[in-house]
Amino acid sequence: MRKYALMGLLLVAYTGYAKSEALSNRKDSTVRKGVTVYTTAENTKLRLSATATLSFAPMKQPLETEVCIFVDPAKSFQTLTGIGGALTDASAEVWAKLPKEKQQELLKAYYDPVNGIGYTLARTNIQSCDFSSGSYSYVKENDSLLKTFSIEHDQQYRIPFIKAVIGAAGGKIPLYVSPWSPPAWMKDNNDMLHGGKLLAKYYQSWANFYVKFIKAYEAQGIPVWGLTVQNEPMAVQKWESCNYTAEEERDFIKRYLGPTLQKQGMAAKKLIAWDHNRDQVYQRASTILEDPAAAKYVWGIGYHWYETWTGSAMMFDNVRRVAETFPGKNLVFTEGCVESFKYNRINEWFLGERYGLSLVNDFNNGTVAWTDWNILLDENGGPNHVGNFCFAPVHADTKTGELIYTNAYYYLGHFSKFIRPGAKRVIASSNRTDLQTTAFINKDGKLAVVVLNLSDKEIPYKLWIKGEAAAANSLPHSIATLIVD
């Protein structure tokens, strides 16, 4: 009797397990109906092109000889804030020179989520930067009370441009603002250019300056989402620059900028420290964030990709170290572009691949937001008042009025178009170094998997998710986004 009872219990247990497994499989198959692949590839006409529709089939343990991208949607990490680019004086001036139809084409190309790449984040400069036609300030000489503060300069090009961008983005876009230099008379070198330091007696006046700028822009109908303390505070540049040690930046935040924002009702503005390269991002972050009096004002740590000027590769591990050590703070890629513009290189593939490499690895190391530099430059890589000409994803030939889309535009689009604000990063792992990957689940439940191939090889692979796989193919020097329904 006991024997039959035991068999009955085993049968019930097995039946329950089988039903559970069937329900689990049914649930998985409902989630993963199929895969749509979008591809951009060198030596082809593929540019964010729908290239394949894949379906899943059961696949148990993959062999070591089988190339796979493994995705685990159940393991989630940071939430995406947005992806976008900088709305500089240079971009605004070039846009103003375009014919009306080309102006609208550019706005649609960047900000339309269906017919463009759907940018969802923006940055602009406080006072002049290198990508301005000249140096300028919003206040007159020695006006420490800021009574003469005026953004009249920006009314000609930049404010109309930013308003047009807001309209194209559906009526709102998170915008953060960054200073390159205080007015010359506030600095120890009496020069907006060539580094120098903010004089201690003007710390409060400079903190008030940020508030004045934000209020002035918001009075123009341009909401400001956040701000950085100082663009590249370790760089002595031939253009607008100002230098702070980590301790000086920390103390300016906790004694002046943070309290001033709070007193002025701007505690909700996202304050971002560092805003310089990955090489020293941990040293800077730790110095500021280990001080509770400064850390309480800081929303995130910003960084750039120009550590390569030392001969180093891009140092993604340093970003991860900040994410691991300070999980309550946010990492933001605040600027990157390919430098040393040459018109005859505008169609070269390395432009986009640098973006792809950075985006994949920055997101995998904890970044919540990613901002390119100028969204538009002219046929000379400017305007730039110190000759620091650079590449942008889109260039305009101001003589013909034509727009030139570099492959960097499409590489960026593989992220910004398909990974939307509110998406959560999930585990994506490659078993071959030739394929790099990251993945996010959007708020609508769709999974976006980006696969980057920097090699000369065409690589067949399997997109493997929990015992099911879809057969895919990665072209040489390509980027693909796989949307899993």
d(CA 99, CA 321): 47
Q: Where are the beta strands (DSSP E) in 345-458?
A: 367-374, 377-378, 394-397, 402-405, 424-430, 435-441, 447-453
Q: What is the 3-state secondary structure (H, E, C) of 35-102?
A: EEEEEEECCCCCCCEEEEEECCEECCCCCCCCCEEEEEEEEEEEECCEEEEECCHHHHHHHHHCCHHH
Q: Are 138 and 192 in contact (CB under 8 A)?
A: no
Q: Is 347 exposed, middle or buried (0-12, 13-18, 19+ CB in 10 A)?
A: exposed
H-assigned helices in 269-399: 281-289, 292-295, 316-325, 350-364
d(CA 179, CA 225): 15
b/e per residue, 121-144, with b = 16+ CB within 10 A? bbbbbbbbbbbbeebbbbbeeeeb
d(CA 42, CA 406): 12
Look up residue 39 and give its two tokens. 């591809």
Angle between helices 407-416 and 350-364 (to 10 degrees): 20
Look up residue 330 and give its two tokens. 């946010």
Please count the helices (runs of H) and the strands (runs of E) in the chain. 13, 21
d(CA 93, CA 213): 20
Angle at the Cα of 388 (from 249 to 231), degrees rounded to 5? 15
d(CA 78, CA 186): 39
Q: Are 484 and 446 in contact (CB under 8 A)?
A: yes
Looking at the annotation, which residues are catalytic?
232, 335
In sequence order, the β-bridge partners of residue 483 are 36, 448
In sequence order, the β-bridge partners of residue 430 are 69
3-state secondary structure of 378: strand
3-state secondary structure of 254: helix
Contacts of 211 (CB under 8 A, 6+ apart): 260, 261, 264, 266
Write down the residue that tokens 């068999």 correspond to: 7
